[in-house]
Structure 1
Amino acid sequence: MERTISFLSRILDTLAPRSCVMCGKRLAVSEEVICGHCNLFLPRTGYASSAYDNDLARLFWGRIPIERAASFFFYKPHSDTSRLIYRLKYGGHAEIGEQLGQMIAEEFATEGFFEGITTLLPVPLTTQRQRQRGYNQSVEIARGIRSVTGLPLLERALERVTFYGSQTKKDRWQRNENVEKAFRLVDAGAVSHQHILLIDDIITSGATLTAAAKEVLQGDNVKVSVLSLGFAKNM
């Protein structure tokens, strides 16, 4: 069976060659999303091994009670990692999110990051934004994580009710104001007595996840941890 899959994969790869979303070079049959070279030099944060105390976790101290926090890589505008995120969010390639979610889960699981977490909750988009994009990139990341960890995925317990534009060009205070009342908890029972892992694509000031976590924490006996693909440190 493995030989058959390998043979079919080689045929498909010949007919429709895939390219690395970071450097653009052709992917080998065994590679997914990014090539081996880009994967080797991906600016990983290493936060999964110190998830209780790192620069990302400290963003939330004094704002929300947080259990642990980690991002897969450091994000910088106009870099290879920004090209990856752009393809995921705006290029119509939802599969990138799921495949990266699988990579995250496989690497973070070896550090025990998911121990005690009971539910995955991707940060929602507004209905309009999701309709425009065709999918929610955070949901796709969460699906990849679910496929490895087996953790259940919550998609309807939290909803996004406002959106006032991208956070990228706003300062820290503007980001806080932009998302202060952006979310609404619609199913407190679904999050109660759970250790929720909030999942997003990029964390800059932490304002979006802080606002989402404040809503989730309205449930009974809720613990919250956060995870993202990228961390725009010092932005």
Structure 2
Amino acid sequence: MTKKNTIWNRLLDTILPRHCSICDSRLGFDEKAICGSCATRLPRTHYELTADYNPMTVLFQGIVPIEKAVAFVHFNPHNASARLIYAIKYYRHPDYAMAMGEIMAKELLSSGFFNNIDAIVPVPLSRRRLHQRGYNQSEYLARGVSKITSIPVITKALRRKHFLQSQTMLGHTERQKNVENMFVLRDASALSDRHILLIDDICTTGATAMACIQEMQVAKNIRFSILTLGLTDH
């Protein structure tokens, strides 16, 4: 960042101060989405230490083939991560998603989680949902990860056909039925012979990720890993 841009950004930050998405305190100039205090209190899973076998990978065993799976934080409606994730998902803060993608990537880099990943695919939204929300939060998470890792993001190969019902209030079986045949692979060649990292905001039962992977398996010689910002406590 040039000196001129730094001065401008500091001035802008003075005029339009940014606030922590969790505690609402004013962010420091170098802080993004969350303040340093809240960042240290996020309920991290540390699944990157056992990325090939942990409570998240167990969700997919025997259903779809994955090599690694990591959720960055535990999620429930009452912990510190909930307000952050709700701000990203429902309150028009793609900037928070981008920032959290960067934060996740920085913290996971030293574990080797991104080794051998060739491309990132964010879970797509339907056109209707994209129009309502104005952005795909999973894509912004992916672009934040890409900014740190330089792994390319592919957004055109997989498409969500339509939006039927939010997964939020559905049970395990209902979630699976809700996303059956929901995705279509538009460009198998873009994913063939690659290790794909599928990125989403929240994993609850894994139904959405499973549906994406089942469709992407059409591509030749493809491998899968998964990264989400949160995993719902079961």
Superposition TM-score tier, normalisation by shorter sequence: over 0.9
After TM superposition, the score normalised by the length of structure 1 is: 0.96
| Superposed displacement of residue 2, structure 1 | 6.1
1:1-235 aligned at under 5 Å gives the runs 4-234=4-234
Aligned 8 A contact 1:192 1:221 in 2: yes
- The alignment's C-alpha RMSD in Å is 1.3
Distance 1:177 1:100 in 2: 30
CA shift digits 1:54-88 (9 cap, x unpaired) = 00011100110110000110111143312111111
Distance 1:19 1:151 in 2: 30
Please tell me the residue identity of whatever aligns with 1:65: P
Please tell me the residue identity of whatever aligns with 2:108: F
Distance 1:92 1:169 in 2: 21
Moved more, 103-112 or 3-12: 3-12
CA shift digits 1:84-133 (9 cap, x unpaired) = 11111121111111111011111111100000010000000001110111
Distance 2:4 2:153 in 1: 32
Gaps of at least 5 residues in structure 1 are none
Query: What SS class does the counterpart of residue 56 from structure 2 fall into?
Result: helix
CA shift digits 1:152-171 (9 cap, x unpaired) = 11101100013222212111
Distance 1:165 1:154 in 2: 25
Distance 1:149 1:155 in 2: 17
Distance 1:211 1:34 in 2: 32
Distance 1:216 1:49 in 2: 27
Distance 1:162 1:151 in 2: 28
CA shift digits 1:7-44 (9 cap, x unpaired) = 43332222111100011111111211101110000000
Query: What SS class does the counterpart of residue 231 from structure 1 fall into?
Result: strand
| Superposed displacement of residue 227, structure 1 | 0.4
Gaps of at least 5 residues in structure 2 are none
Distance 2:5 2:162 in 1: 45
Query: What SS class does the counterpart of residue 156 from structure 2 fall into?
Result: coil
User: Percent same amino acid at aligned positions?
Assistant: 43
Aligned 8 A contact 1:60 1:66 in 2: yes
Aligned 8 A contact 2:21 2:83 in 1: yes
CA shift digits 1:166-221 (9 cap, x unpaired) = 21211111111111111111111111111000000000000000000011111111
Q: Which runs of 4+ in 1 moved over 4 A?
A: 1-6
How many equivalent residue pairs? 234
